[in-house]
Amino acid sequence: MSKVEFNKETGPREVFCGLTSIVWLHRRMPDAFFLVVGSRTCAHLIQSAAGVMIFAEPRFGTAILEEKDLAGLADAHEELDRVVNDLIARRPEIKTLFLVGSCPSEVIKLDLATVAEKLNKRFLGQVRFVNYSGSGIETTFTQGEDGALKALIPLMESSNEEKLLLVGTLANNVEDRFKKIFRNLGISNIESFPPRQSTELPKIGKNTKVLLTQPYLSDTVRDLKHRGCEIISAPFPLGIEGSTKWFLAAAKAFKISELKVHEIISPLINRAKLALDSHKEILKGKRLFLLPESQLEISLARFLHNECEMDLIEVGTPYLNKDLMKEEINLLPDNTKIVEGQHVEKQLDRVRESNPDLVVCGMGLANPLEAEGISTKWSIEMVFSPIHGIDQAADLAGLFSKPLKRNQILTSKTLVTH
Amino acid sequence: MELTLWTYEGPPHVGAMRIASSMKDIHYVLHAPQGDTYADLLFTMIERRGQRPPVTYTTFQARDLGGDTAELVKKNIKEAVERFKPKTLLVGESCTAELIQDQPGALAKGMGFDMPIVNLELPAYSKKENWGASETFYQLTRTLLKEKVSSSDKINPLRWRELGRRPKVNILGPSLLGFRCRDDVIEIQRILSEQGIDTNVVAPLGASPDDIQRLIDAEINICLYQEIAEASCEWLRRNFGMEYTNTIPIGIKNTIEFINEVHEKLDLPLTNKEELENKSKLPWYSKSVDSNYLTGKRVFIFGDGTHAIAAAKIAKEELGFEVVGLGTYSREMARQVRATAKDLNVEALITNNYLEVEDAMKKAAPELVLGTQMERHSAKRLGIPCSVISTPMHVQDVPARYSPQMGWEGANVIFDDWVHPLMMGLEEHLIDMFKHDFEFVDGHQSHLGHTATNTNNILNSDEKKEKNSKEGIIWTESGRAELTKVPFFVRGKVKTNTEKYAILRGIPEISDETLYDAKAYFS
C-alpha cells in the first residue's frame, strides 16, 4: 500500500443528504416512485438539486409532515396511508414505491418498515413497498443510493446460476457499452443492479460475481456478501487505468486470460489515449483540491493524477471505507492527503492557503470560490454525466479541463460579483 | 400530511436566510443536519452570488442525538462569532432541530456576547418561506430598535419642514430571491428622488444592523413587498408612529397612486402630476393602433400575492385584457387576492398545488398566462404563451440587464414581456388574412414555439373524444372544416362552446351552421 496520509475532520459540513440520490434513481427505474416522508425542506431540497424545475409530473414527491402528524404517531401512520392511497390512485402505473425516511421522520421514529409491511399486504400483486432512509443525520448524498439498493436486496430471489452483476447506477449508454465488452470477453450472463425496471430484479446467489461500478455502496456490498455473492475486488471504472484493471479483475473471476482482455480493449485504450491528450495538455501540472461530496473523490484523484498528471493537494471524502477503496488507495501517489469528513470553514482556509488551480466542490461553494479567482468544478455533475469506462475517459477529463480552458479565455480577474 | 410533488415556497428558515444573505454584518447560526446546506445554492447559483450566504449549519448527526447536541450548538456559535465577527447574530433551527428542542437562541443568549442576538422561532411544520422572511425581518427590526421605543416621540411625518431638509423615507421589503428586487429598488429611488424625496435606508437588501437602527431617521416607510415588510412596517407604525404606504407601484396607475400616497403622507405638494403619465411608454404603446388586437385577450394570472394583484390590475385597466383566472400561493395574502378576483368576477384560486393551477388554467382557456416558472412549463405543455411575473426564482429571473417591474421602466418592461409572447398585432392580422393560402401551415407561428395546437392534433384529439363522448355528438364534414378555419389559439374554446350549445339544444350533429349559431349564442 502506498504511503497515503489519512486525516479525519469534524465540524460544519457543506454536502447534500442522501435524499438527493432520488434525482438519478427515479430516472434509472421509470416504474418506481420515491415518496419522501419528511418536511417542506426535503421537498425543496430535491426540487432544487434536481435543477430547480420539473417538466412533467415527477416520479418523486414528499409527504410533508404537519403539526398534527407530530402530535401522535398513530395519526401519522394513518395519514401516510391516505397519502399513499391517493398517490397510487393517481399513478396506477407505479410498480415499486420507495418510502424514504428523512431527518424529521427518523427523529420522531416514524416506523416506515412497519408501514411498508402493511401496505405490501394491502397492495399485494399491484405495488411493492420498500423503505430506506435518505436522512441527512445518517447519509451523505450518494449514500442514498446505497440505502435504496440495500432495501431491494431482500426482494431478490436466489439463484446459483453463474453471472456477472454490475452494481451501482450507470448511464444507460455506458451500461450498454460495458455489456458489449463483457460479451466480447466471453461473459454472456450479465445483469445490472439497479435494473432499468424495478420489477426485474436480478436473482443472486453463490455464483453471482459482483463488480461495483460506484464506490459508495458499502451497505449494499455487505448484504450481497451475506447472500453468498462474491465481490470482485477492483478499482472503479473511471479513466483508462481504472477501467482496464476493472475489466481485468472481472475477467480473472471468470477465468478469462489477461491476453484476451488486452486483445479486446487495447484498441479502445489507444483511441482513448489519443482523445485524452488534449485535455492532459491543459491539466498537466495543475494543482487540484477535492472537497468531500460524492465519495467519487478518491477515484477521481487517482485518474486526474495518474492519467492527467495533475498534482493533488487534498482529497476530501465524506466517508471512507478503506476496505472497499483499498485497490484505489494503492494506486494513489505517495503522500496523498486524504481527509475524511469536513469542517468547511477550516477546509476553505486550506483551499485559500494552497492556492489551487482547480477545486472540485458543491454548488453552494462554486461561485463564491470563482469570485475569489479560484476555478471550480461542481461535484454533482459527476453523478449525472456518463463518465465511466474507457470510452468516456476523455469526457471525464473534459469536465475538469473545461473550467481551466475557460479561465484562460476570460482573463479578467477583478470582477464585481453582486 | 400533505402530498407535495413541487412547492412554490421553501421552508421558513430559507426565508430567514434570504434576510441574512441580503444584509451586511449579520451571521445566522442554523441548528440543522447535513443536507440543509442545499439552500446555499439558491443564492450562489440562482442569484449568481459571489459570496456564500452568511450561515453556519451545526450539522448534527444521528450519533449526536444520544449525546449533547446543545454543546454542538454552542461550539458552532462560538466559532462563527470568532470567525465572522457579526454585528448582529441570528440563531434558529430548521425543521429537524425544532423537534429536538435544544433552544439554540436561548443558548446563544447565555454565552455572554455583547452583540444583539435575535432568537428566531420559525415553526417549520406550519409556516413557509415568505412568512419566515417576514418574521425574521420583523424580529430583527424589533431587536435592534426596541430600546429606542420609549425614549422616542412619535415621528411627525411633516418634521422634514422644521428640520429644513428634503423628506426622507425607508424602502422596506426588497430581498434576495425576491422577484426583480435589485432593479425595483433603483427605479423607486429614482422616482422618489425626482420628486424631491431622499431614501434613508433600503432594507433588508444591502442594509447592515446599523442601518436598521437608523430607520427612525426617516419620516415614513415604503412597504415595497407586503409579504416581507408589512409586519415590520406595522411595528414601526405602532411604536414610532411611522406611517407606511399601501400601494405597490407596479403599473402606471399604481405608480401614480403610489406617488400620490407618498406625497399625501409627507404633506408634500405634487407639482408634476400631468407629466407622470408620460414617464412610461406603456400608455401610448397600449393606445397605439397595433395594440387593438390586445383587446379582450383572455389572461390567466397566478403568482405571489403582490405580483398577482398588480398584474390583474394592469391586465384589465392598462392593456385591456380580460382576466379569466387569478390566484396565488401566498396564503397570507389570500384575502386581498380574493377581493381583487371578486372585482374581476372570477373565483380566486388559493393553492400550493401546481397541478391544481394547471387544471384551472386548462379550464379557463386563456390566450396568455402570467405566472411563475412552473406556470411557464404548464402553459408550454398546453401550447399557451406565458410571461413570468413572480417567484419562485429561476436563474432566468435574474437578468443581466436592468429589468424592474416597478415604476415607469417597470411598466415598459411589463409591456414588452407580456406582449411579445403574443403575436404582434399586424402579424396576427396577416395570419388571419392568409391562413387559407396553401403555403400557410398551422403551427408555424414561431413566437409560440409549440406545435401542440395545430389542426391535426386538434382533429385527432377530437376524434378520440368523439368516440368516448357519452353525449354522442358528431362533427359533420362541414362543421369540422369550419372549425379548422378558427384561429388555433381559440379553437379549443370554440369547440367546447359549440358542443355545449349542441347539448343545450339537443342537436345531434354539428355542422358549419351550428358553429355560427353557437357563436351568436355565446357572444
Contact (CB, 8 A) for A204 and A280: no
CA pair distance A10, A345, nearest whole angstrom: 11
Catalytic site positions of B: 290
For the cut 60, the answer to whether the pLDDT of residue B431 exceeds it is yes
Contact (CB, 8 A) for B398 and B48: yes
Q: Is A361 annotated as a binding residue?
A: no
Chain B residues within 8 A of A22 when measuring between CB atoms: none
* CA-to-CA separations, B161 to B156, B166, B471, in angstroms, rounded: 10, 8, 75
pLDDT of residue B440: 58
Q: Please tell me if residue A135 touches chain B, with a CB cutoff of 8 Å.
A: yes
pLDDT tens digits for range A315-347? 999 999 999 999 999 999 999 999 999 999 999
pLDDT of residue A68: 86
B395 CB neighbour count, 10 Å cutoff: 12
Which residues numbered 318-377 in A keep a CB inside 8 Å of some CB on B?
345, 362-368, 370-371
CA pair distance A377, A399, nearest whole angstrom: 7
Contact (CB, 8 A) for B230 and B223: yes
pLDDT tens digits for range A168-185? 999 999 999 999 999 999
Question: Given B35, B59, B94, which is nearest A12 (Cβ)?
Answer: B59
Enter the pTM of the model: 0.91
pLDDT tens digits for range B368-403? 999 999 999 999 888 899 999 999 998 889 999 999
DSSP structure class, residue B170 = E
Question: Given B14, B34, B44, which is nearest A363 (Cβ)?
Answer: B44
Contact (CB, 8 A) for B312 and B282: no
- In this prediction, residues A200-214 reach a mean pLDDT of 97
| Cβ-proximal residues to B44 (8 Å cutoff; 6+ apart), any chain | A363, A364, A365, A366, A367, A368, B52, B53
- Across B260-289, b (16+ Cβ under 10 Å) vs e yields ebbbebbebeeeeeeebeebbebbebbeee
DSSP structure class, residue B45 = I
DSSP structure class, residue B217 = G
Q: CA-based Rg of chain B, rounded to a whole angstrom?
A: 27
Chain B residues within 8 A of A366 when measuring between CB atoms: 44-45
Mean pLDDT in chain A? 94
CA pair distance A230, A250, nearest whole angstrom: 11
| Cβ-proximal residues to B193 (8 Å cutoff; 6+ apart), any chain | B199
CA pair distance A322, A325, nearest whole angstrom: 5
Domains of chain A: 18-139 (3.40.50.1980), 163-259 (3.40.50.1980), 272-417 (3.40.50.1980)
Q: Is A308 annotated as a binding residue?
A: no
pLDDT tens digits for range B90-126? 999 999 999 999 999 999 999 999 999 999 999 999 9
Residue bearing cell 422561532: B121
Contact (CB, 8 A) for B109 and B75: no
- The most confident of the ranges B230-234, B439-443, B478-482 is B230-234
A395 CB neighbour count, 10 Å cutoff: 17
Coil/strand/helix, residue A316: strand
* Beta-strand pair A60-64/B2-4: antiparallel
pLDDT of residue B432: 65
The reply to whether residue A103 touches residue B96, judged by beta carbons under 8 angstroms, is yes
Looking at CA atoms only, how far is residue A405 from chain B in angstroms?
21
Look at B440 and A252; give whichever has higher pLDDT. A252
pLDDT tens digits for range A248-264? 999 999 999 999 999 99
Looking at CA atoms only, how far is residue A47 from chain B in angstroms?
7
Question: Long-range contacts of range B269-278, CB-CB < 8 Å, 24 or more positions apart?
Answer: B270/B195, B272/B195, B277/B252
CB contacts < 8 A (A, B): 198
Which DSSP string corresponds to B82-134? HHH--SEEEEEE-HHHHHHT--HHHHHHTT---S-EEE----TTT--HHHHHH
CA pair distance B492, B503, nearest whole angstrom: 17
Question: Given A12, A61, A67, which is nearest B4 (Cβ)?
Answer: A61
The reply to whether residue B1 touches residue A76, judged by beta carbons under 8 angstroms, is yes
* CA-to-CA separations, B21 to A334, B31, B202, B400, in angstroms, rounded: 42, 17, 14, 20
The reply to whether residue B35 touches residue A104, judged by beta carbons under 8 angstroms, is no
| Cβ-proximal residues to A277 (8 Å cutoff; 6+ apart), any chain | none
Give A112: exposed, middle or buried? Use CB within 10 Å, 0-12, 13-18, 19+.
buried
What is the band of B469 on the pLDDT scale with cuts at 50, 70, 90?
Answer: very low
C-alpha cell at B310: 398588480
C-alpha cell at A4: 497515503
pLDDT of residue B424: 59
Look at B132 and B272; give whichever has higher pLDDT. B132
B183 CB neighbour count, 10 Å cutoff: 21
* Beta-strand pair B168-172/B198-203: parallel
C-alpha cell at B140: 430583527
pLDDT tens digits for range A297-308? 999 999 999 999
Contact (CB, 8 A) for B135 and B15: yes
